[in-house]
Structure 1
């Protein structure tokens, strides 16, 4: 609800005793995936980019950092580019292996990058591409595509990296040493372990870590000791809306927005994005009728008000 709508609702209630009008929540957002675009609060695409992306950020100055999917000619190993507010594009990093899976603009003005390949690694680079940190990732090497996803640098200088087929989110020190791990396997029927693949891991100021698990179709929150304190599954939702949940963002009010990458393939009415409260009430959905999914995203504003950065995504 916009500020104007709230004021109008209050005036009507005071003058005529009418109940306050509850307007739907609105968001504008930046979407990444096979298609890259911005959607406004009315659900209309206002900007598109002519390449597939895996990750990205809109910065406070209006520029964007995009993690490009690999392409046969220009970027066979993927890349990271910066799009200035005037549209000028600058190459920050050209991938040296099979894929570049994430690029996080840090509070230090650097970029955290992960490369998947024969030698999966984490790099932190400067604006001009100088390598400041470079160490190997402790993950399986058989399936390159499922080595890493949304790696993020934390305020304490450590790194949080999901490893899909290792079924764990690993926390690395600046020297590459493993200092923590969240196991995303869950108990199933008859003591059967369900190996869920972590995709996005978000560390909150409280120390809790929210993780989307793709093949498990669930979202899990761990406390600082690794205990599961919150779980969202399709049993908690109006329908089977968790369909390969990849991207996620925690909003300032504590609500969580989730991207279901496979939504729309079988049922074009299934929401691509939805916002849920911590008591599991759905308050916003986005459906565009397309079969192409949203890989990750960034909510830019809510009810016409800009979401303050840095985005927790």
Structure 2
């Protein structure tokens, strides 16, 4: 069992992480499964930010609302990004890391713990950038971004650092996912206003961009109600939308995660009722869904009691 598995199992069994320190929780929000799939997962959401167990029970509640991004780390700690700060909680629910935005008008949108222990955060504002912050909360690297808009809220969302040291950054109103070098130079662009995706009229605003193990890039298109996969040349090689599903679950999809089995889990952030999170097989069939709390972003943690292996592709 690896460090992540031990940390996750400790977290899910520890009473310290139950809502309000309670020992029993009523599963108010059940997962709806097609078949035998059960997941536990972390939610960063507008009304609830915490962990849901495989039976739909609330295992852990951050006590705060309106989270944007977050991870359950390998040691079992939880890293969460809100619009104004990034916090990391340990197993005793003590804040062990924090970073607060420097300007009132600024928005923080991403929080990722890097392999070297630093934390990557996106800052939208008059000078949009990615920062890497050390354990003391000090900025040790800053990468300028070019979102093509002064609309702070619409500049960027879920950026991720790639294994080659570059950064993959979705820019909503630019209709583009840009790959930046550490010096801020753009070396690749995936356009989401392609004609075969409906052009700009379809409002295919890129929200989450994920570099897959095969080199392709998975992107959620929030107002366009689609998820697409691009090859390295920017050609769409896989696309799914409401037209492919009887349940029509796409309502402003924000977060996404590609699982090791090839399935894709998608957060339908705009859904006020019904399906909020759902899993699709490569053939676009829905194999699992969740109808509880609204979900901005998330992390699938376990499937049928087994921790998800490897770095989460989310």
Task: Report TM bin, short chain.
Answer: 0.7 to 0.9
Which of 59, 62, 73 is the equivalent residue of 2:73?
A: 59
Determine the C-alpha separation between the residues in 2 that align with 1:190 and 1:79. 36
Instruction: Please name the residue that 1:146 is paired with.
Output: 154
RMSD of Structure 2 on Structure 1 (CA): 1.7
Determine the C-alpha separation between the residues in 1 that align with 2:54 and 2:303. 8
Determine the C-alpha separation between the residues in 2 that align with 1:284 and 1:106. 30
Q: Per chain length, whose mean CA-contact separation is higher, i.e. which structure has more relative contact order (CA < 8 Å, sep 6+)?
A: 2
Which of 239, 242, 246 is the equivalent residue of 1:238?
A: 246
For the Cα contact (< 8 Å) 1:188–1:194, is it kept in 2?
no
Q: Which has the larger radius of gyration?
A: 1
> Does residue 200 in structure 1 map to residue 212 in structure 2?
no
Determine the C-alpha separation between the residues in 2 that align with 1:190 and 1:25. 34
For the Cα contact (< 8 Å) 1:186–1:194, is it kept in 2?
no
Determine the C-alpha separation between the residues in 1 that align with 2:94 and 2:244. 44
> 1:188 offset after TM fit, Å?
6.4
Determine the C-alpha separation between the residues in 2 that align with 1:28 and 1:161. 28
For the Cα contact (< 8 Å) 1:119–1:136, is it kept in 2?
yes
Which of 222, 229, 233 is the equivalent residue of 1:225?
A: 233
Determine the C-alpha separation between the residues in 2 that align with 1:281 and 1:300. 21
Which of 211, 215, 220 is the equivalent residue of 1:212?
A: 220
C-alpha change, 1:79 and 1:301, in structure 2 (3 Å) is: same
Instruction: Please name the residue that 1:276 is paired with.
Output: 280
Instruction: Please name the residue that 1:94 is paired with.
Output: 100
C-alpha change, 1:109 and 1:189, in structure 2 (3 Å) is: closer
Task: Give the TM-score, by structure 2 length.
Answer: 0.84
Determine the C-alpha separation between the residues in 1 that align with 2:310 and 2:116. 14
Task: Give the TM-score, by structure 1 length.
Answer: 0.85
Instruction: Please name the residue that 1:47 is paired with.
Output: 60
Determine the C-alpha separation between the residues in 1 that align with 2:211 and 2:197. 30
* Count of aligned residue pairs for this structure pair: 277
Instruction: Please name the residue that 2:90 is paired with.
Output: 84
* Higher alpha-carbon deviation: 127-136 or 227-236: 127-136
> 1:239 offset after TM fit, Å?
2.2
> 1:187 offset after TM fit, Å?
2.2
> 1:140 offset after TM fit, Å?
2.8
Determine the C-alpha separation between the residues in 2 that align with 1:33 and 1:232. 23
Q: Secondary structure at the match of 2:146?
A: coil
Determine the C-alpha separation between the residues in 2 that align with 1:39 and 1:262. 19
For the Cα contact (< 8 Å) 2:202–2:223, is it kept in 1?
no
> Does residue 120 in structure 1 map to residue 152 in structure 2?
no
C-alpha change, 1:247 and 1:190, in structure 2 (3 Å) is: closer
Q: Secondary structure at the match of 1:185?
A: coil
- 1:82-140 Cα offsets, whole Å, 9 max, x none, are 10122111343111232100011112222111111111111112222232211221013
Determine the C-alpha separation between the residues in 1 that align with 2:313 and 2:112. 11
> 1:141 offset after TM fit, Å?
3.5
- Which runs of 5 or more structure 2 residues have no equivalent in the other structure? 1-33
